[in-house]
């Protein structure tokens, strides 16, 4: 129902058409020129419009868009032509693909692209897959409050702004000469199934085939990036790029909120005066799709292939960086900083903040000392660094790093992250620590089961670790001060 606002435009008469046109900063309607009168790049679209739209009223309205677009293109009015091009693409999404054949609508879209200023993005030669049942196709970016997700037509894949943000808040589109105002905010979002071959590494399980998202013009996302997700697979993680890509990663978990059937499904803001009037006269759309679960990720500034995988376990494997053999001193941060990089069973990096790890000492002779500030949370670059860790005893020592799998950590996203077990630990190279004669009075320690606020004080608070209870987690010392200890 949401796409049939075009039916209302002609019924309300030419006055409303002109008002809508001014609302879209493009001036009054042109006097229906021959579609063949513009430059050859912007082709005659009469036949394509006829084939794409079977409803006569909707067809006439799209013909008016096409006439204005072609005339504007022929007159060198890039901004106006691009605006009407997006009107046609929006009509294809909301009405055309439900009326004419997919091929007819694809032909119309492909014929529209040359009339628009779209930057360096390369328009596809066909969008039949994007318009079909497994694809996604939608114009987004206007008005400033537009938050509507683009969801694949089978209700499985989704892309949306994060909670509290609109598309305009997070999207930067490629600048184009002469493209200004609201026109410069509009983009076409396209999605289609990608290849599943080689997407998951050996040891990981692909739960849903990969999916490719793209935009025209090219978009980058920030503040705080875009949410990409899956609306049908429960308890999976989003992987970015195929397994053999050097930039492959499993990244931050953010559950999408606009999946079909979700209680939080939101209807986008209307884009035109005519649509606002139509909304006032029409019931809200009904969403009947059932949900198995929702899986998603965030923190991506750009788009490329995504898949939903089961990574098996969180493995540390080896230390990315161990303390140097000589030069470390008791009760001072170890140098260089011990670093581990969590990976899936297939060796794919976890670039998310939901992994908590801790280190403990191993010595060849005698009783080991303690490592204070021995825990750390992973970051969105896939790095867990123990930059506050200090060792309390002189002598030779090596480190073992262990993690507690994935947990709903207290400070990253607040999402319920699918639980993964801890996998292989990591062992550092051996190194020497010299005694500087100092003594500590405050030594927080996490041992995987208990968080001691000060292991040196039997009366100090301690908490039994519970992955389901954020209040039992050791704090993120990058953002929390520890009175009584000077780093």
What CATH number has the domain bearing residue 340?
Answer: 2.60.40.3960
428-464 as b/e: b if 16+ CB within 10 A? beebebeeeeeebebbbbbeeeebbbbbbeeeeebee
Q: Are residues 199 and 70 in the same domain?
A: yes
On whether the CB atoms of residues 308 and 232 are closer than 8 A, the answer is no
Q: Are residues 200 and 184 in the same domain?
A: yes
On whether the CB atoms of residues 296 and 227 are closer than 8 A, the answer is yes
Q: Is residue 473 part of a domain?
A: no
Q: Are residues 394 and 416 in the same domain?
A: yes
Q: Are residues 76 and 104 in the same domain?
A: yes
Q: Are residues 280 and 324 in the same domain?
A: no
Q: Is residue 1 part of a domain?
A: no
Q: At what angle do helices 56-74 and 78-91 cross, to 10 degrees?
A: 160
Residue 284 CA: distances (Å) to CA of 2, 58, 128, 378, 478: 8, 21, 28, 43, 46
Q: Is residue 33 part of a domain?
A: yes
Q: Are residues 96 and 47 in the same domain?
A: yes
Q: Are residues 274 and 330 in the same domain?
A: no
310, 343, 358: which is the final residue of a domain? Answer: 310
Rounded distance between C-alpha atoms, residue 241 and residue 132, angstroms: 23
Range of the domain at 342: 313-439
pTM of the model: 0.78
Q: Is residue 459 part of a domain?
A: no
Q: What is the total count of domains within the chain?
A: 2
Give the tokens for residue 130. 């994007």
Q: Are residues 74 and 210 in the same domain?
A: yes
On whether the CB atoms of residues 24 and 182 are closer than 8 A, the answer is yes
Q: Is residue 365 part of a domain?
A: yes
Q: Are residues 418 and 303 in the same domain?
A: no
pLDDT of residue 364: 84
Q: Is residue 485 part of a domain?
A: no
398, 414, 439: which is the final residue of a domain? Answer: 439
pLDDT of residue 418: 72
Q: Is residue 458 part of a domain?
A: no
310, 331, 350: which is the final residue of a domain? Answer: 310
pLDDT of residue 9: 24
Q: Is residue 293 part of a domain?
A: yes
Q: At what angle do helices 273-281 and 14-23 cross, to 10 degrees?
A: 120
The secondary element (H helix, E strand) that includes residue 19 is helix 14-23
Residue 411 CA: distances (Å) to CA of 123, 161, 251, 354, 476: 41, 21, 16, 9, 7
Q: Are residues 217 and 335 in the same domain?
A: no
Q: Are residues 300 and 365 in the same domain?
A: no
Sites in the chain below the pLDDT cut of 50: 1-39, 264-294, 298-299, 409-413, 487
Give the tokens for residue 5. 């606002």
pLDDT of residue 36: 41
Q: Are residues 177 and 39 in the same domain?
A: yes
């Amino acid at each position: 129902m949401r796409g049939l606002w075009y039916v209302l435009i002609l019924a309300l008469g030419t006055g409303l058409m002109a008002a809508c046109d001014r609302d879209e900063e493009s001036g009054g309607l042109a006097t229906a020129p021959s579609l063949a009168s513009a430059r050859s790049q912007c082709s005659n679209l009469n036949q394509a419009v006829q084939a794409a739209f079977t409803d006569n009223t909707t067809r006439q309205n799209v013909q008016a868009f096409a006439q204005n677009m072609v005339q504007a293109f022929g007159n060198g009015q890039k901004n106006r032509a691009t605006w009407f091009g997006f009107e046609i693409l929006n009509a294809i999404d909301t009405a055309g693909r439900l009326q004419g054949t997919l091929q007819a609508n694809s032909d119309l879209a492909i014929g529209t692209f040359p009339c628009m200023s779209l930057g360096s993005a390369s328009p596809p030669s066909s969008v039949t897959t994007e318009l079909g049942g497994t694809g996604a196709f939608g114009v987004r970016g206007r008005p400033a409050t537009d938050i509507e997700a683009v969801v694949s037509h089978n209700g499985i894949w989704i892309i949306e702004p994060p909670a509290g943000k609109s598309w305009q808040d997070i999207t930067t589109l490629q600048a184009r000469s002469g493209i200004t105002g609201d026109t410069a905010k509009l983009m076409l979002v396209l999605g289609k199934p990608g290849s599943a071959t080689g997407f998951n590494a050996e040891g990981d399980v692909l739960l849903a085939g990969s999916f490719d998202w793209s935009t025209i013009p090219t978009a980058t996302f920030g503040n705080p990036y875009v949410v990409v997700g899956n609306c049908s697979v429960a308890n999976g993680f989003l992987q970015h790029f195929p397994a053999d890509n050097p930039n492959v990663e499993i990244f931050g978990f953010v559950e999408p909120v606009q999946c079909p059937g979700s209680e939080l499904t939101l209807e986008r803001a209307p884009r035109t005066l005519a649509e606002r009037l139509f909304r006032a006269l029409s019931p809200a759309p009904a969403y009947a799709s059932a949900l198995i679960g929702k899986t998603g990720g965030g923190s991506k500034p750009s788009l490329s292939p995504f898949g939903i995988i089961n990574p098996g376990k969180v493995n540390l494997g080896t230390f990315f960086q161990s303390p140097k053999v000589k030069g470390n001193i008791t009760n001072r941060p170890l140098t260089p900083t011990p670093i581990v990089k969590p990976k899936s069973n297939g060796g794919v990096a976890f670039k998310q903040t939901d992994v908590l790890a801790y280190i403990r000492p191993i010595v060849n002779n005698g009783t080991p000392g303690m490592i204070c500030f021995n825990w750390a949370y992973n970051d969105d670059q896939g790095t867990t660094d123990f930059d506050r860790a200090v060792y309390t005893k002189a002598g030779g020592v090596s480190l073992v790093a262990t993690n507690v799998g994935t947990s709903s950590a207290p400070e990253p996203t607040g999402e319920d992250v699918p639980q993964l077990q801890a996998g292989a630990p990591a062992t550092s190279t051996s190194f020497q620590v010299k005694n500087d004669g100092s003594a500590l009075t405050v030594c927080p320690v996490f041992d995987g089961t208990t968080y001691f606020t000060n292991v040196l004080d039997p009366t100090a608070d301690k908490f039994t670790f519970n992955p389901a209870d954020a209040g039992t987690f050791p704090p993120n010392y990058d953002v929390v001060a520890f009175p009584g200890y000077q780093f």
